[in-house]
Amino acid sequence: MPLPQPQKSLDAVTLLDDLIPLKDASHTDVVEYSVEVPFRYAECFALLSDGRKVGLTKPRRFIGWSSYKPSRTLLFRVKGAHLELDIEDQLAGMAPGKVHNITLEAMALRCAESVKKFIGIDGNLVLLAT
């Protein structure tokens, strides 16, 4: 589900709250998403406008990320489908969590035309056919 303009972000927030809910918070209040590797596995956290840092209610849905660069993608698995959040640092203050685009994989088999590479939560390479 593409998000071409930040003003349409409330629909995105509802989608994110439904598919990858946060502990005691809403994606509406997210200023930034971060990836940390506290021990062996990486975790995704949301930094909120009130200064709190919260995790996902179901942390195993986070399965990887593309990089730590200003333009990056977070990868989640929800009910067998992949959900990608494209993050753009230049959207700070304009879109919740700096989310530029949301892609939800269709639940159908398809032939892969290309492959995206992600860093898995365990540090291994994750390949996603697109």
| Domain span holding position 99 | 6-129
According to the model, what pLDDT value does residue 113 have? Answer: 67
Count the domains in the chain.
Answer: 1
Whether residue 1 is contained in a domain is answered as no
According to the model, what pLDDT value does residue 63 have? Answer: 92
According to the model, what pLDDT value does residue 46 have? Answer: 95
Is 115 exposed, middle or buried (CB count within 10 Å of its CB: 0-12, 13-18, 19+)? exposed
CATH of the domain at 44: 2.170.170.11
**Degrees to nearest 5, angle at CA 50 with 67 and 68:** 5
Whether residue 53 is contained in a domain is answered as yes
Whether residue 16 is contained in a domain is answered as yes
Output the pTM of the full model.
0.77
Asked if residue 58 lies in contact with residue 20, where contact means CB atoms within 8 angstroms, the answer is yes
SS3 for 1? coil
Pick out the chain residues at pLDDT < 70.
Answer: 1-10, 106-113, 130
According to the model, what pLDDT value does residue 70 have? Answer: 81
